[in-house]
Amino acid sequence: MQTILTEKPSVAREIARIVKATRRETGYYTGGGYNVTWAFGHLVQPALPDGYGIKGFHRDNRRTKQEQNRTCSDFALQGGGRTTLNLPIIPPVFQLVPRQVKTEKGYKPDSDVAAQIKVIARLFRESERIIVATDAGREGELIFRYLYEYIGCATPFDRLWISSLTDKAIREGLERIESGSKYDNLYYAAKARSEADWLVGINATQAITIAAGRGTYSLGRVQTPTLAMVCERYWENKRFTPESVWQVHFATPGTGADSVVKFSSVEKWKEKAPTEAAYKALEAQETVSITKVERKETVQEPPLLYDLTTLQKEANTKHGFSAEKTLSIAQKLYEAKAITYPRTGSRYIPEDVFGEIPALLRTQKNNPAWAKRLALVGDTLSRRSVDDGKVTDHHALLPTDVKPKMLSADEQTVYDMIVGRMLEAFAERCVKDVTTVTVVCDGVEYVAKGTIIRQAGWRDIYGEETEDTVLPEWTEGMTLPVGGCSMTEGKTKPKPLHTEATLLAAMETAGREIEDDEMRQALETCGIGTPATRAAIIETLFSREYMVRQKKSLVPTEKGLALYSVVKNMRIANVELTGDWEAALAKIERGEMRAETFREAIESYTEQITSELLASDKLFTHKRSDCLCPKCRTGRMQFYGKVVRCDNDACGLPVFRIKAGKTLSDAEITELLTKGRTEVIKGFSSKQGKAFSAVVAFDAEFNTVFEFSEQTRVKKSTKRKK
């Protein structure tokens, strides 16, 4: 008997059908010489500090090497199994425990998880061989290996590695089962990532919480650099000072009777005086002479196929979907056999998959949304997305030959995006003729551009190409009449606040701003997080209340900005350093670095960030006050630089000083705490950058809200009437 382990019950059901394991038992299917069982994601995880007998932390982190090398159980022997431990806590060996759930009495094993582990352990022991069919990637491998290690199993195992759940893919995968040892490096990388996140997250969170004195702040190896990018962009946007930019234009007759060609100055002036001088000189001329005519062919290659991150970015930009929502939909489409494995980091396919593309395109002939557009692909398929050397664990996202049924509107949207991108990726190049005409007046160059589309190619799939902009057949030396002249003023604009699309792009390249698809792919291993984890990291920042969505924009909260102000110059917030760790994990996966080397570096890094964070109490210095907490009525409010907080541990009411771009003074905060509301305060800034005045008050749950006085309302009403 062989046991197949999948990551989810739904996948187990499909594989069981293929291998004819048709009898359902508690926790598995059986038949045809197979048992097919399942996990619910991670059934086993590294124990929390409590699992090592550690309860409570203190700030003296000056530990000797001898102390650091002692096992956690050694520490637990002190004080009847419970002790405090100097930070950082670095377990010599990580203990594994069944997945925990939080209860009133602390964390306890999930009863459903514990029951399924018992089923799996029995099946593993009774089997001649195990077939690992968890998701074919880093986390899928870790789900099995942690479980295998926790059970203490010695049964040999093989690996089923497939990129889609179609019947054909499952059957072909079962025919070419590979030795489980082939994926040892993948496991080492996954384990190293898991332990690094534990070391950094546990120690950094405890250290910053101790330094703060009150309240709890969560830090993480990837989440904190991601928050730093959001906050940095926020302050860059808010502190930006717009500058005027001036430009001069004139019109001249085009080819048709009513046609006009507009010339604009190449230079954009930051002062009005030189602009007016250029305008007056141009206005005084009746004609100008052409000094240069440049014609060149411009080629736009088809876009690469989607990987998960690119799909998430475009779904956010075009349809407003969150990264988490797009991943969830893509996973459902994968389990419905409609698309290939979604958590891929590659935008390329290998040669053997390219050979299947013509047949795959033909499956869309009966799809009313795409049937008419198939002809636009052309007979010769583009090979831009074909490169065996650039395919990682899985190739780029593709639809399968299975026609999806009963899709929701959002599922149909994501499915159509993947189909449409496939058509674009294999269509012909877009070719344009671009003509640039230059004239000079009083030393100032003016240009006009025309475009003729010779071959729409891939841009015709969505009908993106606009009409030609045809210039007359002008040549150098010709004279053009100067028609209407104009002078325009624009304003420089700040970089917009991050959206999920731009944040995903920044995570992908560790903050480097790169437009080129292929360059981004080259830096993929240097990004922070992975395609499979970035959505969860973003959602963590929402759940920690470090940022919120305002339409599509990501806006840090007062809590997020306060935390950023403390850690922004520390290693824990260094985006490029975090990118280096991701690159190191990729090396482990490729067998180019030992996991032990990475572990040693992460332990050293953990000690450094812990020391930095514990020393940050100077940033958390505060003034004691006699202000009674308005919520619990027992604690006293302590005034910190960015926050005012109740000193009663059971309450900990925070009042953040920064509201709509303005920092409230001690006097204003005191008034709020004692009276429940302030007088009208000036100098707040709206999302649109407009100044406003308001009262700051507590609501029923002691959250701060804005209230507008009758006088303010009257002023607004008067403005509207005008």
Give the C-alpha separation, 401 to 381, whole Å.
Answer: 18
**What radius of gyration do the chain's Cα atoms show?**
31
Catalytic position from the list 341, 446, 546, 564: 341
For 5-42, the pLDDT digits (tens) are 999 999 999 999 999 999 999 999 999 999 999 999 89
Give the C-alpha separation, 643 to 215, whole Å.
Answer: 11
Give the C-alpha separation, 537 to 542, whole Å.
Answer: 9
**Predicted TM-score (pTM) of this structure:** 0.79
Give the C-alpha separation, 654 to 632, whole Å.
Answer: 12
For 685-699, the pLDDT digits (tens) are 876 678 889 999 999
Give the C-alpha separation, 166 to 443, whole Å.
Answer: 67
Give the C-alpha separation, 6 to 25, whole Å.
Answer: 16
Which amino acid would we find at residue 501? Answer: A
For 237-296, the pLDDT digits (tens) are 999 999 999 999 999 998 776 789 999 999 999 999 999 999 999 999 999 999 999 999
Instruction: Examine the residue annotation and report whether 341 is marked as an active-site residue of this protein.
Output: yes
Query: How many percent of the chain have pLDDT more than 70?
Result: 89
Give the C-alpha separation, 450 to 429, whole Å.
Answer: 20
Q: Which domains are assigned to the chain?
A: 2-46+99-160 (3.40.50.140), 49-93 (no CATH), 191-239+496-619 (1.10.460.10), 248-301+430-491 (2.70.20.10), 318-425 (1.10.290.10), 623-721 (no CATH)
Give the C-alpha separation, 372 to 488, whole Å.
Answer: 44
For 495-529, the pLDDT digits (tens) are 999 999 999 999 988 877 655 565 555 555 568 88
Reported confidence tier of residue 128, pLDDT bands at 50, 70, 90: very high
Reported confidence tier of residue 57, pLDDT bands at 50, 70, 90: low
Max mean pLDDT among 59-63, 85-89, 215-219, 579-583 falls in 579-583
Reported confidence tier of residue 82, pLDDT bands at 50, 70, 90: very low
Give the C-alpha separation, 452 to 449, whole Å.
Answer: 10
